[in-house]
Chain A
Amino acid sequence: METLGKLAVLAEGAKYDVSCSSSGSAGRRGAVGSTSLGGICHSWSDDGRCISLLKVLFSNDCVFDCAYCVNRRSADIPRATFTPRELADLTIQMYRRNYIEGLFLSSAVVGSPDDTMVQLVRTAKILREEHRFGGYIHAKAIPGASPSLLGTLGLLADRMSVNIELPSETSLRALAPQKSRDSILRPMAFIGGTIEERRKWRKSGRSGPAFVPAGQSTQLMVGASPENDFTILRLSEGLYRSFGLKRVYYSAYIPVAENPLLPAPATKPPMLREHRLYQADWLLRFYGFKAEEVLSPQQPNLDEALDPKTGWALAHPDFFPVDVNRASCEEILRVPGIGVRSARRILSARRGHLLDGDDLTKLGVVMKRARFFISCKSAAFPAFPAGGDLRRLLASPPPGKDNLRQLRLEF
């Protein structure tokens, strides 16, 4: 098959992986290419997602038969495999024209996990060593790969990820019989551990190449298996804590196969649920929330009508109103309508004078929501306990179209 045909097949096979960020790696520079700390988006595809990296599979010729996956062995689809040189050259040609910020190097399992890893390492080596490519490389660790290969790939990549996809071992056993919790978590733990070790090593003044400088990420599918949001969010929390993950991506499952264990092919992907999970994830990472505060065994799923922060606020009337002129940063961050940036601005602006409502608007606070939860100098805001009315007032309008607006996710 020619490169054009392969590219179509192998982009098709990789597109359900939602991660596309090119951020977190600063100062890498080669003969061709450099990285930018904040990441750069190069285009936006017809689904509105940003295109930053050339996201393809090295091969879609999989020996695994995971029921949820387009590339599963039993699927009747065209198969293709790049050669390492072909993919490296394609990357360079696209990079020089500024189409892309780098390569997202992933693959189905061809032969064995280690055989596949060897091909990925070869591709990355051609890029880094022959082309002296300084752009971004996001490399996928194949479940079950051996530590030595992970170690080699990690020295060539900016970011690595192992996708968990299914949030529980039960689902994994049912839908991905050749994978196991262990074959996924072991590479993750290895990468996390090595990143940590390297960081300490470099801090102590010793030099050496960086290992996965932009950190590690993973992806969880939403709606393919029966786990509730509480299970998913607690899993993410654990991953951030124990493996130091940079990001957990959530992907609303798009049915690709007829299978009694999976949603029927015509089922719409749960986009709104995905959106709420991202909002809850943000609360964990930037707002000091714990998974147990957002959800509980009694209320295991996120309310689709409310963003999770507003949901928490309505359930905790005693916490409010928050006095923006006196409260701590942590308290201010709990107010719906106040983001991390506005909170920081409030803290700096209130040193000058007592803030009133107009000041808050100027600082970028979304007063439409915040006004029910704060007090300030003018303090002329409706008192908090307005009960059910308030809930109705703050609920998002039912989405008019099913293509709900997506969060911007590059980071």
Chain B
Amino acid sequence: MAVWTFDGTFNGFLCLIHESALKKERPEGILRAGETQPLLFETVHTATDERLAASVRTALAARFSRRILAAGYYAFLSAMPEREMAVYRYFALAWTMGPRAAGLLADDRVRTVHEAGRAVSRERHRFLGLLRFSELGGVLYAPFEPEGDILPLVAGHFARRLGGERWIIHDTGRNRAAVYENGIWRVSAFRTGGPLPLSGREREIRDLWKRYFSSTAVQTRKNAELQRQFMPKKYWKYLPEKEPPAE
């Protein structure tokens, strides 16, 4: 019995699964390298091999469908505690049951992963709308603070949409960013030294948006509760339209 560790990437996780199948051993717990290690357990580290990961991915999809693989991937990106073990158990079940496993909504191993995955997918959809870019010296920069690790899930959308631009989508909570240039995006470590100053032109466009935002509301139908239901306060931090008025 041991706690297994990996580098925190989904590919690393797939390699860990491969290792476990090879040794016919189940991990007692799965941790990301760098997380606090429990003292009483022996730890085993699995190295990440991208090529191996790709073939594990193919094998899993062939055995139990791409749908289950995707559900597991989304849950892996969630903020659920012990998500790695949850996805591990889900994949293990699907490995024996095949594609039918996705239908077992009453089984906790399935339900937990599907719910976590759905939350990630909901948050992704929300941010496709709520992400806000500012133009800073020829680059569009969008900070956000998602609960799930959704950077890789939103980047593709903006690569299609803003294909001719250079942009940075910055997960300020995880200090990582997707950086897009010349048709390719990459996720890497990223930090800024505090809030970035806006140009006069940028301020102007922001003001236009804020003016539009207030003018388009029908005052006789005011409904703050409904507004918060769709756009909870936790998302307001980087929304210009919810910026407190300037002094």
State the A residues within 8 Å of B (CB): 3-4, 7-8, 11-12, 14-16, 29, 31-34, 36, 40-52, 54-56, 90, 93-94, 96-99, 101, 135, 254, 268-269, 271, 362, 403, 405-406, 408
Bitwise, B108-152 to A at CB < 8 A (1) or not (0) is 000000000000000001001111111100001010000000000
- Report whether B231 and A44 are in contact in the complex, using a CB–CB cutoff of 8 Å: yes
Shortest beta-carbon distance from A8 to chain B in Å: 5
How many A-B Cβ pairs are below 8 Å?
137
A291 to B200 Cα, complex, angstroms: 56
Residues of chain A contacted by B7 (CB below 8 angstroms): none
A268 to B219 Cα, complex, angstroms: 12
User: Given A51-B213, A94-B209, A96-B165, A403 and B223 touching (CB < 8 A)?
Assistant: yes
B23 at the interface (CB under 8 A from A): no
- Report whether B163 and A31 are in contact in the complex, using a CB–CB cutoff of 8 Å: yes
B226 at the interface (CB under 8 A from A): yes
Residues of chain A contacted by B208 (CB below 8 angstroms): 3-4, 7, 90, 93-94
- Report whether B223 and A48 are in contact in the complex, using a CB–CB cutoff of 8 Å: yes
Residues of chain B contacted by A4 (CB below 8 angstroms): 207-208, 211
Residues of chain B contacted by A362 (CB below 8 angstroms): 105-106
Shortest beta-carbon distance from A272 to chain B in Å: 13
Shortest beta-carbon distance from A234 to chain B in Å: 27
B1 at the interface (CB under 8 A from A): no
Shortest beta-carbon distance from B166 to chain A in Å: 12
Residues of chain A contacted by B125 (CB below 8 angstroms): 40
Residues of chain A contacted by B165 (CB below 8 angstroms): 32, 96
Residues of chain A contacted by B239 (CB below 8 angstroms): 43
- Report whether A55 and B221 are in contact in the complex, using a CB–CB cutoff of 8 Å: no
User: For residue B140, which residue of chain A has the nearest CB?
Assistant: A96
B224 at the interface (CB under 8 A from A): yes
Majority secondary structure, A binding face: loop
Residues of chain A contacted by B215 (CB below 8 angstroms): 7-8, 11-12, 15
- Report whether A47 and B221 are in contact in the complex, using a CB–CB cutoff of 8 Å: yes
Other-chain residue from B129, B163, B212, B230 in contact with A54 (beta carbon distance below 8 A):
B212
- Report whether B129 and A45 are in contact in the complex, using a CB–CB cutoff of 8 Å: no
A33 to B164 Cα, complex, angstroms: 10
Shortest beta-carbon distance from A9 to chain B in Å: 8
A246 to B129 Cα, complex, angstroms: 23
A406 to B226 Cα, complex, angstroms: 8
- Report whether A44 and B221 are in contact in the complex, using a CB–CB cutoff of 8 Å: no
Other-chain residue from A93, A98, A408 in contact with B132 (beta carbon distance below 8 A):
A98
Residues of chain A contacted by B161 (CB below 8 angstroms): 32-34, 135
Residues of chain A contacted by B47 (CB below 8 angstroms): none
B225 at the interface (CB under 8 A from A): yes
User: For residue A36, which residue of chain B has the nearest CB?
Assistant: B128
A90 to B204 Cα, complex, angstroms: 11
User: For residue B220, which residue of chain A has the nearest CB?
Assistant: A254
- Report whether A99 and B209 are in contact in the complex, using a CB–CB cutoff of 8 Å: yes
Other-chain residue from A11, A41, A48, A268 in contact with B216 (beta carbon distance below 8 A):
A11
Residues of chain B contacted by A271 (CB below 8 angstroms): 221
